[in-house]
A and B are shown apart, each in its own frame.
Chain A
């Protein structure tokens, strides 16, 4: 168990809908990352937050947004969902912002868009 929790574990929804994925980082970790894993795209970095502030952006669509709250948990909001958004979404955390530290991954949220 990495200490990173994600809810829900599974999510099934329809095209055009909006969902929110939640992540709680390991105790003491200030940095949170979001990733998307799909068969065709592999593991893609979406966005990084550090102590409430957005710090790095990857291939995140404009329909997607995220935030990190004062208690350090983070939410990833996905809107106007399309079939292609079906994927496994991972949250990870690390103790600092520095590039040399490893990340600890949550178990993921499997999103199915019908």
Chain B
């Protein structure tokens, strides 16, 4: 079965510093990997996805993620963090089942960006 793991419950970073939110995956076949962000009292928002092709994927709000097949990782990165980036981040993988797809989310990583 497909799965993703987010090893850090929380990441703290100072504003202006680079940030990384980690995700590792376990899939059979080609992975469809996603990052979503959840702000307080809001639904999830799509940030970026990896389907195939270039290992560096660029997404919304200046975020990017690097797909690493040998390390089975899909870490989310941003060169310079903003206080407004503080939120809950979810890594996800699509799992094909008969007739459709399930989405399996990681436990989430809370990002705190300090001014």
Contact = CB atoms under 8 A, between A and B. Distances in A.
Interface of A: 2, 4, 33, 42-45, 48, 50, 55-58, 90, 92, 97-100, 102-108
Contacts of B45: 2, 105
B46 A55 contact: no
Contact of B100 (A43, A50, A104, A106): A50
Interface of B: 32, 34, 36, 41-46, 49, 51, 90, 94, 96-108
List the 4 closest A-B pairs by CB distance, nearest first. Answer: A55-B100, A56-B100, A105-B43, A99-B94
A106 B105 contact: no
Contact of B108 (A2, A43, A56): A43
A48 B101 contact: yes
B43 A99 contact: no
Given A100-B32, A102-B34, A45 B44 contact: no
Contacts of B51: 100
A72 B103 CA distance: 20
A104 B43 CA distance: 9
A56 B102 CA distance: 6
A61 B18 CA distance: 42
B46 A102 contact: yes
Given A48-B100, A56-B97, A56-B102, A100 B43 contact: no
